[in-house]
Every structure is written in C-alpha cells, then in structure tokens.
A and B are shown apart, each in its own frame.
Chain A
C-alpha cells in the first residue's frame, strides 16, 4: 500500500497478571497527516506510542514505520523519528540553546548557531533561549521538548499528550506549532485526551479505550457515523410551540422548556426552517447544535471525559 507510513498489525501488550494495555489493535497512518490517538487515562496510548518508538516490546503483533520493524530494527529509524515523551521535563540546568546543541550532538550533528536559532524561533522560544530551563513555564518546557524532537528533521513526530496540563493560551500556541510542523510535510502522531484538540488538529482520529481502538476516521466521518443528528434548538418556546410545530408534520421534543428539532439530513434543514418561520414563537433564541467528537465519544464509550478521566 503506497503512502502508508506507519503500519500496525494485531499489536498487543500485556502486563502480568492480566492487564491488556494494548489489545490486538490494527491501523495504518498515511504520510503527511496529523493522526490523533484519542482516549482516557490508561487507554493504552503511551504503550502503543512507546512500542512504535522501540522502547517497549509488544507481546504479539507487529509494527513498522517505513517498512522497518520497530521492535527489531529501531536503530534504522533514529534519523527519521522525533519524540516528545509524555510529561516531558527538560534538563533543569541547561538553557534552551544549550539543550538544543546537546541534543544535536547526541545525533552526531553539528548545530550551528543559525540552526539553533531557527529551531528555537520555530517553536517560539527565541526570546527565552538563554533562560535556565527550570525557570521556563510549562508551555515553554513543552516547546523546548518539541524543539529537541525536531533536531534531526524527522519525517515522523510522536507527541504524547503535548498539551496536557497547560493553560488554554499555551495549548492554542502549541496547536499552531503542530499545524506548522505538519505544513512542512512531517507526519504527526498525537495522543491526547482532549476531544477538542483531536477535532481541531487531526486529519485522522482513532478513539482508544481499554486497549482497543473503538472508532477510526476523520473527525467529520466520526461525527457523521457515531454522532447524533444536528439539532435545531428553539430556546424557551415551551409546550405550546411544540404543538404548533408538530401540527406542521415536523418531529420535535421538549427538553427543559426548549424545543428540539432533529435534522436527519442536512438537506431538510431549509425546509424545516421555512415551516418553522411561519409560526408565531415566543422563542428567546434559535440555533443549530452541531455534534462534536464529544458526542461521538459519549456514544461510543458511554461516558464523558474530562482531563482524561471518564465520568458517566
């Protein structure tokens, strides 16, 4: 299959006595995409990623990157892969520019000042390049981690929960950076338990739960397939409006005084609006509620997810 960069076949990782951290998963990732593995704490994301990084041996199954077996021949991939581990913390007593130079040395590369500068500029750390790393903010530390992971100009970049624990501004900064990296042609493997992050960034999502991939596709595909329909919400319209709407042959329900009109097919939307607009409504507001990955997740896993923790 051309264009397939990462190929995972029947991969499992069991821990004694009976933890199936990864339970027989199969998937492929195409080049140049942002692939997101989305799942709650303990889903098996890090286990999967670290198998692909040659750091853990699978119990069974096989994974290849560029047709190279990650378990047997990872050393052939060192030049092509970049890694940001989960909870990355930089070396406390090195400045970002030193850390980048250090990392270059570990890859047998000479890091010229201009290369170091452009890398730090790329991740947005130019002004902070001479600050001792332990004094950097959480977001800056992650950016430094990404700078290190880019030192060998990788073709595949693994980012294990790059935005966990960061404030919204820092998260948006990183999202922008990740999109820029992808724009340069790098394939990104991103794990996250933020649904909005996957929806915003990923071309391709795998929802993982309890070691299994429970759904796979682009965010839009997943929403279409597993989400409920788009709903027109008429707030504060009440039972009266419901009767009027139903009289016109439109299916609807009431929830907390709001009338909800499901739209089975986007094409029907216009027709429904036309019919509704003829009715005298005491509505406060009318809007359509789009389904998101959050709804998909709720439908698939049967629970909501907040900071990686599931709640029913």
Chain B
C-alpha cells in the first residue's frame, strides 16, 4: 500500500511539473469549452438576406416586410439591374432570394382565376452552409404567412419548442460531456503510451523490476492518479462552463463514477499499446492513430446519429463512444438506465484491457 502511495505521489509530482501534463489536463478542456461555448451560445445575430426584387407591385413589398418581421433575417436589396447569379458569385454570397418580375400581377391573375400554376420565388444558395437553413426557414415562413393573408384564412396548427428533459438544453450542454470524454481519453491514453515508451527506452521498467513494487501495483497507481487528476480537471472545466455559459448539464453521481471507469479503460489501453511500443516516436504515432479518429468519431463534438451508417458502425467499435454516451445519458438526459449500461460496457472493456496489459507487459527482458 505504501508503495502504491509513494508511486502515486511522486509520479504525480513529476507529471504535473511537465508542461504537457498540465496542458492536457486543464488548459485543453478549458480552451475547448470556452471556444465552443462562445461559438454556439452567442445570441444569434440576424442573418442578412440579399433579395433582388424585380416586381413593382405591393405583394413583393408585403413579402419583404413579412420576411423582416420573422426576426430571423434582415433583407438587403440587390440592385434590379444585376444578373443575380453573377452577383452572388462576385459578392461570395451564401444565398439570395429572387422575386420575379410580375410577382404581384401573377398573384392577382391567380386570385381572379386566370393564372395557371403557382407563382414562384427562387432561393439561391448552398444548402451545405449552416446559415442557408435559417434563410430557408425564414423564406418558408414568410411564404406561408403571405399565402394565408392572400387567401384570407388563418392557420389552425402551430407548434412550440420544448426539450425532453426537465430543463432546456443547448449545444454547450451536449458538448460538455464530450469535452470530458476527450479529456479523459487524451490524458490517460496519450500519456500512458508515451510514458511506457520512455520508461522502456530509459530502462525504468527494469529499474522498477528490481525494487519491491509489483507490476499490478504500478498499474493501479497510474489508474488512481489519473482518476484524481481527471476529477480535478472535471471540476475546473465544469465550474468554468457553468460560470461562463450557465450550462444546464449536471454532475450526477453516475458521471462521477464514469470518470474513474474511463480513466481505468484508457490507462489500460495505453499500457496495452505500451507493450508493443519500442521508442517514444512510435509511441506518439500509435496513440495518434488510435486516439485521433476516436476523438472525432465517438460523438464528442457531434451526435453519432448524424453520421453515415458505416461511420456509426465504426463509432460503435470505439470505447470512447460508450464513455461519451454514458456521460451524456446521465449529465444531459437524466437517463440513468442507459448511463449504467454504458458504464458497464466501459468497465468491461477496461477489465479486458487491464488484464491483457498486466499479462503481456514485461518489465524484464
């Protein structure tokens, strides 16, 4: 026991004195939270919607004022003498709305039963741009309102927004567990592989083998140290998220259980990789090959459901996915059952890695 305590203490002192250690444990998650929080929680400014109005009747004017009234967009006039496609290109516009010539005239013709077909507006733009969705929604809403007004009916069905949990959540709430996941993974996996590599090349494992500490004691010590470190990191990150963005996600007891479980899993995986690593260079390469895809594909930054099916299958094979989902289940959705299931998956994979690592890792020749 005193061997483990001594190892935790002095390994910890050395670790925290190394700048990379402190960076990945504290600076990195705080940076992520502040950065993504700032991007996604800022009150959305109105989108500028360029509109070229070739019509000179009252209905196009009505449409424009309805558009402005949605609160989503701010209509900007595109000169009528410009070719709209060229104009969009020359001004790098994400979208623009074209109100055709005779818009009012055609509507009046339809109203009196003379016209054929619908009167068409054209929304130019690139649907892959996130702002396009907003513009599309605004135009859609404005057209609907105009239709109701023109036909003198009023809408019967409406809907409001409400999140399924007890409180409303925002992207930052989704993101916080993801940051915790990344932090747990990078700290334990990356640093364990690099530690194993440098211990091998510097002969520390051999040196340790001649002392009284046992291999499993050393492994346990690493697990305890990283659990403590990650708790500290979690509390700091969480406090900052709370202070800066008033996040609604909560630190539940299950999330506090998941932290050591995640540390256990990734410390063990790091040591397992350390078995095959020969030198520090290959150590960095291997942890990147495994850690980097995991960082992006395990639902830390965006929901797994939003990815193509084959990517989802890959994500299912990554241990970080279960850790992230376990955290999100309990911290955001309040789904205790789901979280416990994910927790058991994490612990189970962790046990497999730990047993393999302590069996395969040799301190001697």
Which A residues form the contact surface with B (CB < 8 A)? 50, 53-57, 78, 81, 83, 85-89, 91-94, 98-99, 101-108, 132
Q: Is B208 on the interface with A (CB-CB < 8 A)?
A: yes
Q: Given A102-B6, A105-B3, are A94 and B206 neighbors across the interface (CB < 8 Å)?
A: no
**Contact indicator B2/A55 (Cβ below 8 Å):** no
One of B7-15, B311-319, B353-361 at the interface: B7-15
Q: Given A54-B364, A106-B3, are A78 and B212 neighbors across the interface (CB < 8 Å)?
A: yes
| A–B pairs, 15, beta carbons within 8 Å | A54-B209, A54-B364, A78-B212, A83-B207, A91-B14, A92-B14, A93-B13, A94-B10, A94-B13, A101-B10, A103-B211, A105-B2, A105-B10, A106-B7, A106-B212
In the assembled complex, the Cα of A92 lies from the Cα of B13 at a distance in Å of 11
Residues from chain A with Cβ under 8 Å of B6 in the complex: 101-102, 104-106
Q: How far is the CB of B197 from chain A (nearest CB, A)?
A: 14
**Contact indicator B10/A85 (Cβ below 8 Å):** no
Q: Is B61 on the interface with A (CB-CB < 8 A)?
A: no
DSSP class of B's interface residues: helix, strand, loop or mixed? Answer: helix
Q: Given A55-B364, A56-B364, are A78 and B210 neighbors across the interface (CB < 8 Å)?
A: yes
**Contact indicator B14/A105 (Cβ below 8 Å):** no
Residues from chain A with Cβ under 8 Å of B2 in the complex: 105, 108
Q: Is B365 on the interface with A (CB-CB < 8 A)?
A: yes
DSSP class of A's interface residues: helix, strand, loop or mixed? Answer: loop
In the assembled complex, the Cα of A103 lies from the Cα of B11 at a distance in Å of 11
The interface size of chain B toward A, counting residues with CB under 8 Å, comes to 25
**Contact indicator A50/B212 (Cβ below 8 Å):** no
Q: How far is the CB of A78 from chain B (nearest CB, A)?
A: 6
- Among B15, B17, B202, B211, chain A packs the most CB atoms within 10 A around the CB of B211
Residues from chain B with Cβ under 8 Å of A101 in the complex: 6, 10
In the assembled complex, the Cα of A50 lies from the Cα of B13 at a distance in Å of 30
Q: Given A55-B364, A105-B2, are A98 and B13 neighbors across the interface (CB < 8 Å)?
A: yes
Q: How far is the CB of A146 from chain B (nearest CB, A)?
A: 13
**Contact indicator B365/A108 (Cβ below 8 Å):** no
Cβ-defined partner of A93 (8 Å) among B7, B18, B364: B18
In the assembled complex, the Cα of A102 lies from the Cα of B207 at a distance in Å of 13
Q: Is B213 on the interface with A (CB-CB < 8 A)?
A: yes
Q: Given A105-B5, A105-B6, are A55 and B14 neighbors across the interface (CB < 8 Å)?
A: no
**Contact indicator B14/A78 (Cβ below 8 Å):** no
Residues from chain A with Cβ under 8 Å of B208 in the complex: 106
Residues from chain A with Cβ under 8 Å of B13 in the complex: 93-94, 98
Q: How far is the CB of A156 from chain B (nearest CB, A)?
A: 12
Residue of A nearest to B17 (CB): A93
Per the 8 Å Cβ criterion, residues 198-218 of B in contact with A are 202-204, 206-213
Q: Given A91-B14, A93-B13, A98-B10, are A107 and B365 neighbors across the interface (CB < 8 Å)?
A: no
Q: Given A56-B365, A57-B365, are A105 and B7 neighbors across the interface (CB < 8 Å)?
A: yes
**Contact indicator A107/B211 (Cβ below 8 Å):** yes
- Among A86, A104, A105, A107, chain B packs the most CB atoms within 10 A around the CB of A105
In the assembled complex, the Cα of A88 lies from the Cα of B201 at a distance in Å of 11
Cβ-defined partner of B210 (8 Å) among A53, A57, A93, A104: A53
Q: How far is the CB of B218 from chain A (nearest CB, A)?
A: 9
Residues from chain B with Cβ under 8 Å of A132 in the complex: 17
**Contact indicator B10/A81 (Cβ below 8 Å):** no
Residues from chain A with Cβ under 8 Å of B7 in the complex: 102, 105-106
Residue of A nearest to B15 (CB): A93
Q: Given A54-B364, A98-B10, are A106 and B206 neighbors across the interface (CB < 8 Å)?
A: no
Per the 8 Å Cβ criterion, residues 151-196 of B in contact with A are none
Q: How far is the CB of A154 from chain B (nearest CB, A)?
A: 10
Q: How far is the CB of B3 from chain A (nearest CB, A)?
A: 6
**Contact indicator B3/A108 (Cβ below 8 Å):** yes
Q: How far is the CB of B292 from chain A (nearest CB, A)?
A: 26
**Contact indicator A78/B211 (Cβ below 8 Å):** yes
**Contact indicator A83/B3 (Cβ below 8 Å):** no
Q: How far is the CB of A152 from chain B (nearest CB, A)?
A: 8
**Contact indicator B14/A94 (Cβ below 8 Å):** yes
Contacts A50-B206, A91-B10 known; list 15 others, CB within 8 Å: A55-B365, A56-B365, A78-B212, A86-B203, A92-B14, A92-B18, A93-B13, A93-B14, A93-B17, A98-B10, A101-B10, A102-B7, A106-B3, A106-B211, A108-B2
In the assembled complex, the Cα of A258 lies from the Cα of B17 at a distance in Å of 63
Residues from chain A with Cβ under 8 Å of B5 in the complex: 105
Interface string of B213-233 (1 = CB under 8 A from A): 100000000000000000000
Q: How far is the CB of A93 from chain B (nearest CB, A)?
A: 4
Across the A-B interface, the 6 shortest Cβ-Cβ residue pairs: A105-B6, A102-B10, A93-B14, A93-B17, A106-B211, A56-B365
Q: Given A102-B10, A105-B3, are A83 and B210 neighbors across the interface (CB < 8 Å)?
A: yes
Residues from chain B with Cβ under 8 Å of A78 in the complex: 210-212
- Among A50, A86, A98, A106, chain B packs the most CB atoms within 10 A around the CB of A106
Residues from chain B with Cβ under 8 Å of A86 in the complex: 203
Residues from chain A with Cβ under 8 Å of B3 in the complex: 105-106, 108
In the assembled complex, the Cα of A92 lies from the Cα of B364 at a distance in Å of 22
Residues from chain B with Cβ under 8 Å of A94 in the complex: 10, 13-14
Residue of A nearest to B4 (CB): A105
Residues from chain B with Cβ under 8 Å of A57 in the complex: 365
Residues from chain A with Cβ under 8 Å of B212 in the complex: 78, 106-108
Residue of A nearest to B205 (CB): A55
Q: How far is the CB of B24 from chain A (nearest CB, A)?
A: 15
Interface string of B274-285 (1 = CB under 8 A from A): 000000000000
